[in-house]
Amino acid sequence: MNDGNLWKKLKVISRRLITLILQDTAFFAPWPMRSYLHRARGVKIGKDVFLSSLVVLEDTYPEYITIEDQVQIGAGAKIVTHDSSFHNASEGRLPTYIGPVVIKKQAFIGTGAIILPGVTIGEKAIVGAGAVVTSNVPARSVVVGVPARVIGTIDEKAEKFLSRPGLFFWKYYEKPKRLTESERARIKEKL
């Protein structure tokens, strides 16, 4: 092996090592630090993004992830940008697939959801807890299941959501309360 190839391999190995250290640090870091650590790994992250605890953003190719403004990602969610299953099963005769993942503005990814390579999550879409997303999610849709499938739009699901018997709040520091019918009506008008 010539020295040029050795230096290329060492550069790739050192970059991957740094990426893994930053991923592991972000995994347990307090939430205000998580976005900064993932940006240092190469993930493109917009403003006001909330990454909950134990979120895994692709360990090998983080630079293929784009998370736009005001996205929320629930605890334990995973975003994957490569698939080496066929490469491994074919003893290297098939290549590894890399597919960028894009999460558009104001989307919500539920706890434990898995986003697979090549997927775009549309603006203001909701991915339910535990869903496995294998294909693109349209804007303002709600997807659930394994594999994830569209069960409706935000507008269609808002009525059921607002009719839940529990408590609601706008900001985490407010006291939760039941919604009145007039409050529900005002909320629906703003959708």
Q: What is the pLDDT of residues 35-82, one digit of tens each?
A: 999 999 999 999 999 999 899 999 889 999 999 999 999 999 999 999
Cα 128 to the center of its chain, rounded Å: 11
Residue 5 binned pLDDT confidence (cut-offs 50, 70, 90): confident
- Greater pLDDT, 1 or 9: 9
Backbone angles phi, psi at 53, to 5 degrees: -70, 155
Mean pLDDT of the region 79-93: 89
Mean pLDDT of the region 99-115: 98
Least confident of 22-26, 119-123, 174-178, 187-191: 187-191
Q: Is the peptide bond before 165 cis (omega within 30 degrees of 0)?
A: no
Least confident of 61-65, 81-85, 111-115, 163-167: 163-167
Q: Is 112 left (phi over 0), alpha (psi -120 to 50) or beta?
A: left
Mean pLDDT of the region 88-114: 94
Q: Looking at residue 93, what DSSP letter applies?
A: S
- Greater pLDDT, 114 or 41: 114
Cα 129 to the center of its chain, rounded Å: 11
Whole-angstrom distance, CA of residue 167 vs CA of residue 21: 40
pLDDT digits (tens, 9 = 90+) for 168-178: 888 777 888 88
- Greater pLDDT, 178 or 115: 115
CATH code, 3-153: 2.160.10.10
pLDDT at 184 over 80: yes
H-helix or E-strand spanning residue 8: helix 3-28
pLDDT at 70: 97
Name the pTM for this structure. Answer: 0.86
pLDDT at 191 over 80: no
pLDDT at 1 over 80: no
